[in-house]
Structure 1
Amino acid sequence: MSWTRETDDKALVQRLGERLRRIREAKELSLSELSRLSGVPAPTLSRIENNKMSPTFSVLARVMEGMQCDWTNVVSDLSPDDQGPPDVSVVRQGEGAAAEVSGIDYMFLHRNEHAPLQTLIMKVTATDLNAVGGLIGHEGDEFCYVLKGRLALHIKDHPTEILKSGDNALFNSRIPHAYVDDSGKGSEVLIVMTRPLEAARTSTSESQALITRRTGRKESAALPRTARAPRKKVA
């Protein structure tokens, strides 16, 4: 599969910090407030927003959780209202939005948050858990299908599963988990995740309450509070 990154302006990986800042400012959150909501220190958030630091997946997930947004918001230039809920979405080879976070390349195939599923292909080159930021969980269920290579699927309190090309797994993604390459040559895996829209809309997390107080209106929450292994303070 030939992967191409966005060509309008800079590549997505270079614009990640800019987009995160735009989302934060749209929600009228200061760096200190987002730090309190996400558990990520304000100086670290500043370095990420200014493209001086590439966050691990777990750090990025905390940031998105704190702002109540998901990958759809991060990888798309369109707001959810601009996108609308399409009846049919077709992505041609080489299309989609690409991003790289700590040893994993992500190709997001369909970028509409109204859809009940998130679909993406991951290229995993990281060979240990520390490189991907450890185990992390999120709402919903997750399906993975190995397209190429050999993948180690780590799930908390479960044996590590070694998956080869054609192997697949379906699991409760609330359980903290992570993908690591076990081939030494990189692996590709198709991921399909459910997005619990109703649970997101009715979220009563601390970040929802803060956003409501600051803006005087409720924001649509695309990513409910995640479940994860005990977190360590991020340096």
Structure 2
Amino acid sequence: MAEDIYDDYPSLTLAKQSQEPSIEPLKLGERIKDIRGKLGITLEEASQRTGLARSTLSKIENEQISPTFQAMQKLAHGLQIDMPQLFEPPRKKTASGRRDITKAEHGKPHPTQTYEHELLATQLSNKRMLPFKSRVRARTFEEYSDWVRHDGEEFLLILSGSVTFYSEFYEPVTLHDGDSVYYDANMGHMLVSVSEEDAHILWVTAK
């Protein structure tokens, strides 16, 4: 994939609403599990940080036991949070309502020496994914001056035709209609069409 592409950059839900607000009981174990998840640490790592046994932490998170005040002090200190944060209910995720429809052949064209890209969902900014369709014009490995590499992970699906997928640490592989590959985009990679007609692919790059 060409590097310069990165220079650009009904469903109904029924909800019951009570007339009087209700207060949900505090689920301390759920809150602790939520904090640990946001920190991206395992139970074992949390045990090492807090000095609490892994089995004890597991029982607390699953509401099997209630932590003592001393245990909560260790949790706050080990997880590097203030004690009151343990009693804040987990924030519920809400839908942002973002949507962008791209009609066929109405994407933003972005031709390069080896590819002819059609950028999709271009009205949305700050996307976590960059989707686009491409026609692979390159026919030989030598048409590339160097490996293509960039941050993130990438997924590609062959829509029509066939390509040879070259990657820095693997043997070349030929992919046909319906085949796909997911890979680390920091690894050098490139494509060449090997079918009679130029291959068409769907590409999705995740940050």
TM-score using structure 1 length: 0.47
Q: Percent identity?
A: 15
Aligned-residue CA RMSD in angstroms? Answer: 2.1
Match of 1:98 in 2: 109
Q: Distance between the aligned counterparts of 2:137 and 2:114, measured in 1? A: 5
| Local SS of the residue matching 2:100 | coil
Q: 1:176 aligns with which of 174, 188, 196?
A: 188
| Local SS of the residue matching 2:127 | coil
Q: 1:108 aligns with which of 97, 112, 119?
A: 119
Match of 2:175 in 1: 163
Shift of 1:132: 3.5
TM-score using structure 2 length: 0.53
Higher share in helix:
1
Q: Distance between the aligned counterparts of 2:120 and 2:106, measured in 1? A: 7
Shift of 1:159: 0.8
1:138-174 Cα shifts (integer Å, max 9, x gaps) = 1111000000000111100201110000000111111
- Map 1:46-125 onto structure 2 (within 5 A): 57=2, 60=4, 70-73=6-9, 87-111=98-122, 112-125=124-137
Q: 1:121 to 1:145 in 2, by over 3 A?
A: same
State the 4+ residue runs in structure 1 displaced beyond 4 angstroms.
Answer: none
Q: Distance between the aligned counterparts of 2:2 and 2:203, measured in 1? A: 15
Q: Distance between the aligned counterparts of 1:184 and 1:133, measured in 2? A: 24
Shift of 1:135: 1.4
> Is this contact kept in 2: 1:129–1:135, CA < 8 A?
no
Shift of 1:136: 1.6
| Local SS of the residue matching 1:159 | strand
> Is this contact kept in 1: 2:2–2:114, CA < 8 A?
no
Q: Distance between the aligned counterparts of 1:113 and 1:160, measured in 2? A: 35
Letter in 2 for 1:115: K
Q: Distance between the aligned counterparts of 1:97 and 1:164, measured in 2? A: 26
> Is this contact kept in 1: 2:139–2:194, CA < 8 A?
yes
> Is this contact kept in 1: 2:158–2:201, CA < 8 A?
yes
Gaps of 5+ in 1: 1-55, 62-69, 74-84, 196-235
Shift of 1:86: 6.8
1:47-76 Cα shifts (integer Å, max 9, x gaps) = xxxxxxxxx935x47xxxxxxxx3433xxx
- Map 1:144-159 onto structure 2 (within 5 A): 144-159=156-171
Q: 1:86 to 1:72 in 2, by over 3 A?
A: farther
Aligned residues: 120
Letter in 2 for 1:92: K
Shift of 1:91: 0.8
| Local SS of the residue matching 2:8 | helix
Letter in 1 for 2:114: G
Q: Higher relative CO (CA 8 A, sep ≥ 6), structure 1 or 2? A: 1
1:175-223 Cα shifts (integer Å, max 9, x gaps) = 010111111421000000002xxxxxxxxxxxxxxxxxxxxxxxxxxxx
Q: Distance between the aligned counterparts of 1:132 and 1:100, measured in 2? A: 15
